[in-house]
Amino acid sequence: MTERITLADMRAVVRMMRGAARRHVMPSFRCLDRTDIRAKSGPLDIVTVADEATERDLTTALQAAWPAALVVGEEAVAADPAILDGLATAGLAFVIDPIDGTANYAAGVPLFGVMVSVVVDGQAVGGAILDPVCDVAAFAAHGQGAWLEEGSGITRPLHVAPPVPAREMAGNASWRYLPPDLRDVVTHNLPRVAGSWDFRCAAHEYLMLVDGRCHFLLFNRTLPWDHLAGWLIHAEAGGYSAHFDGSPYRVTDRSGGLLYAPDRESWQALRDLLLTPG
């Protein structure tokens, strides 16, 4: 890898995220007009003027700090899918989800976040997730641990929950995007764990996971703006994750699902419990 991303770099990225959220996300929260919201691929896939403004703000800030970097924003890719093709080969790239949980945001529900990940030579090496309502951010750099930073500047290390038997785990299985056959299996098996919930916001679900406040997450879609930041922070906090078939998640993957657990042994037990028919 030609570019080394440090914790100081990630703190700088978090500052950019906080600035963009103060300028665009929070001023528009619960103040959107109907004309400020539109559907993209369908009625459950929406974008707001705040998403677009936040992405533009972050793109400008990141390119000012790292002029040679490729910036891959969710809304930019929606307009030009070819942008995503450069992610695997870029020497340095930033991936932006300007508002994760847009459906909550547009509905006035305070469960949404801003996510940015860093990719160097096709490998995720940095991630940050900001909750702009509580002004708290999780961030990590490869090999340098995972950290939680309050708006006051107080910072502490993050660690995943200790492993427990699969039936004692609590977490989220985002079943609604699973293929029909697998969705039937997972929803049938979910009552076998201790508890499950759905925030409609991967950012908040990752914030709970990496801080040891739940044990597992399950997703079907693996788009980079939704998962690269959380995946890297979870790994740096000591957790284990893989596709449903056990193969490792990679920057270029667009399918295969993702299952997160405290360690490899508990991952296998949870996979057997949730994904096995019967």
Residues that constitute the known binding site for Mg(2+): 74, 97, 99-100, 226
Binding positions are 74, 97, 99-100, 226
149: three-class secondary structure by DSSP: strand
Task: Name the H helices within the chain.
Answer: 7-20, 26-28, 49-65, 74-79, 102-107, 180-189, 202-210, 224-236, 264-275
SS3 content of the chain, % helix, strand, coil (to 5): 40, 25, 35
The region, left, alpha or beta by phi > 0 then psi within -120 to 50, assigned to residue 179 is: beta
The β-bridge partners of 173 are 218
Read off the tokens for 260: 């997160």
